[in-house]
Amino acid sequence: MTHSAKRLRRAAIAWSVLILLGLTLFLLGWKGAIWFNMPSRKKYPVRGVDVSHYQGDIDFSLIAKQGISFVFIKATEGSGTADDRFSANWDNARAAGLLTGAYHFYSFESAPETQADNFIRTVPYAEDALPPVIDLEYYRGSDAANLAPEAVRRDLGTLLSRFREAYGKTPVIYTTSSCYADYLEGADLGEDYLLWIRSVLTPPDDTLNWTFWQYNPRGLLKGYSGDERFIDLNAFRGTLADLQALGT
């Protein structure tokens, strides 16, 4: 075998090893066994989850023992849908001592007034609860492409106003980078809000002035038994006392 042939053979073996390693790491990440975009525990010590009926029956006491301090629970979607596990999740999370909040999945097809009504009649007022959340993201079948950004911003402003009026706290908007760029960046919604940004490949840009960061949508914890084996993991930008202050 010539020197050139040996060199090509070594290069082929090296590339094969790299490809195999890459595929292995990808599969481990897909299965939730490892995650590369992990925030520093020293910098962001306060961690939380967000849940819905997909996690099934949840043992929040066990969740809390795994370094979790807060939870946001899906309450409603659009103008007429309520998560069928919201009430149980809300009561059980609070009983377990977790700082608890509720979120509404925003519909591009529904009027903001009826969406607000749906959330407010579902989520009870609690003085120590975390602020209400609007979950703004694209979804299959969304009518967002047919709506002017100004119309979406106007509707978001209405929801923010209604949520603030009902719960007495500055609401949160959870969103993806694409929705942030399309609807929130540089926009005046008429109401202040706290930003919860989804950024699963890299840390979020600190200039966004975010408050919550969803860093892992495929987390694995003990304590739930639903069809969904993964759970969303989040970090809070501040201390536990800072987070508790949001509830007051």
Q: Are 46 and 246 in contact (CB under 8 A)?
A: no
Write down the catalytic residue from 59, 137, 182, 191.
137
**Is 206 one of the catalytic residues?**
no
CA distance 225 to 222: 9
Q: What's 39-91 look like in SS3?
A: CCCCCCCCEEEEECHHHCCECHHHHHCCCCCEEEEEEEECCCEECCCHHHHHH
How crowded is residue 219: how many other Cβ atoms within 10 Å of its Cβ?
Answer: 17
Write down the catalytic residue from 83, 135, 155, 232.
135
**Is 127 one of the catalytic residues?**
no
Q: What sign has the CA pseudo-torsion 144, 135, 230, 228?
A: negative
**Is 188 one of the catalytic residues?**
no
Catalytic sites, residue numbers: 50, 135, 137
